[in-house]
């Protein structure tokens, strides 16, 4: 498989249940964001259920809060909201070999969330991952894995054959932030693939089964 490293100054993953007011973000990208990145790279809609496997690890240097002016349609007055964002973000994608050619020359701009969160491809390399007990983080895993954490229903992929797009598959996931303490590393340990370069576990999703 290959590992694609993306970098961005900022990243934003909208918290699905917050529609107005203070805008928190998810600590990791939902699968639908990965679908968007793969679709932009290839230049056509990609469905994660059509891939044999896909994994990812996200980490950033922290979370900041920005002020954003909102212009509502049909209203003269504006509003100011506080919006969270990740800064100095890195996203590692684990994909089948055929994606190397696609990420060498992405068709459209790659985004880590909003249109201002522009990402660049920093590295593509082949990796061999060993299956063992490893620390998972910066990703989402199935509830069935039994790791304690925040459970959230997230869109795996959208159906782009209709406008507006509709959720095609929604599943519950445990959201695992990138671990930064010994307690988090211990709590988020499970049998998974291990990437020695990152010293991180990698959970490979296989929605094609």
What Å distances lie between residue 149 and 5, 25, 88, 137, 176, CA to CA? Answer: 26, 16, 24, 11, 7
| More confident call, 24 vs 79 | 24
- Spatial strand order of the sheet with 189-195 comes to 130-135, 189-195, 200-202
Q: Which domain holds residue 112?
A: 2-205
Strand partners, 93: 4, 56
Domain count within the chain: 1
Burial 89-113 (b: 16+ CB within 10 A, else e): bbbbbbbeeebbebbeebeeebbbb
The reported pLDDT for the residue numbered 209 is 65
Strand partners, 170: 155
Q: What is the mean pLDDT of the chain?
A: 93
The pLDDT tens digits for 168-191 are 999 999 999 999 899 999 999 999
pTM of the predicted model, to two decimals?
Answer: 0.92
Is the confidence at residue 198, as pLDDT, over 80?
yes
- Three-state DSSP at 201 gives strand
The pLDDT tens digits for 10-23 are 999 988 776 667 88
| More confident call, 70 vs 98 | 98
Strand partners, 132: 192
CATH number of the domain that residue 165 is part of: 3.30.70
């Amino acid at each position: 498989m290959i590992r694609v490293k993306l970098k961005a100054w900022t990243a934003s993953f909208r918290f699905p249940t917050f529609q107005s007011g203070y805008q928190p973000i998810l600590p990791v990208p939902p699968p639908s964001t990965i679908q968007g990145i793969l679709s932009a790279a290839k230049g056509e809609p990609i469905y994660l259920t059509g891939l044999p496997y896909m994994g990812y690890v996200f980490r950033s240097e922290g979370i900041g809060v920005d002020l954003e002016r909102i212009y509502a349609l049909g209203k003269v007055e504006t509003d100011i909201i506080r919006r969270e964002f990740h800064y100095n973000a890195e996203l590692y994608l684990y994909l089948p070999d055929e994606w190397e050619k696609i990420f060498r020359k992405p068709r459209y701009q790659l985004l880590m969330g909003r249109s201002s969160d522009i990402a660049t491809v920093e590295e593509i390399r082949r990796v061999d991952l060993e299956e063992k007990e490893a620390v998972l983080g910066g990703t989402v895993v199935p509830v069935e894995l039994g790791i304690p954490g925040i459970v959230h229903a997230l869109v795996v992929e959208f159906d782009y054959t209709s406008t507006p797009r509709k959720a095609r598959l929604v599943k519950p996931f445990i959201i695992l932030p990138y671990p930064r303490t010994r307690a988090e590393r211990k709590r988020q340990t499970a049998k998974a693939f291990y990437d020695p370069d990152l010293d991180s576990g990698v959970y490979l999703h296989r929605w094609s089964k």
